[in-house]
């Protein structure tokens, strides 16, 4: 099944970037699971939502948002996400 992992990068004062990464797996993530990726500072992040679309054979996974302290830091993190295989969510 196709899995789309969604990651929000935000600052409380309005800045945000939304990135995603696609995988194919037979393993269905569940709320509370920790997923590993080189993007995350500690190497993993927690799943907070899981949406399954059986018509598309797709699982949409929402990760714990990453809060940044400045818009510049957020843009740097969004750029780093692209280097780690993440794309812009449209």
C-alpha to C-alpha distance for 72 and 90, rounded to whole angstroms: 21
Pinpoint the alpha helices (H) of the chain: 71-83
Whole-model pTM? Answer: 0.87
Q: Give tens-digit pLDDT for 11-51.
A: 877 778 899 999 999 999 999 999 999 999 888 999 999 99
Does residue 90 have a pLDDT over 80?
A: no
Strands in 1-90 per DSSP E: 2-10, 16-24, 34-36, 44-53, 58-63, 66-67, 87-88
C-alpha to C-alpha distance for 52 and 50, rounded to whole angstroms: 7
Range of the domain at 13: 2-88
Count the domains in the chain.
Answer: 1
Determine what percent of the chain is predicted with pLDDT higher than 70: 98
């Amino acid at each position: 099944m196709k899995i789309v992992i969604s990651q929000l990068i935000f600052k409380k004062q309005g800045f945000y970037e939304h990135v995603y990464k696609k995988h194919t797996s037979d393993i269905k993530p569940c709320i509370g699971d920790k997923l590993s990726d080189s993007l995350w500072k500690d190497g993993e992040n927690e799943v907070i939502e899981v949406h399954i679309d059986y018509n598309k054979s797709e699982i949409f996974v929402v990760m714990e948002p990453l809060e940044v302290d400045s818009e510049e830091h957020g843009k740097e993190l969004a750029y780093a996400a692209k280097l780690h295989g993440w794309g812009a969510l449209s």
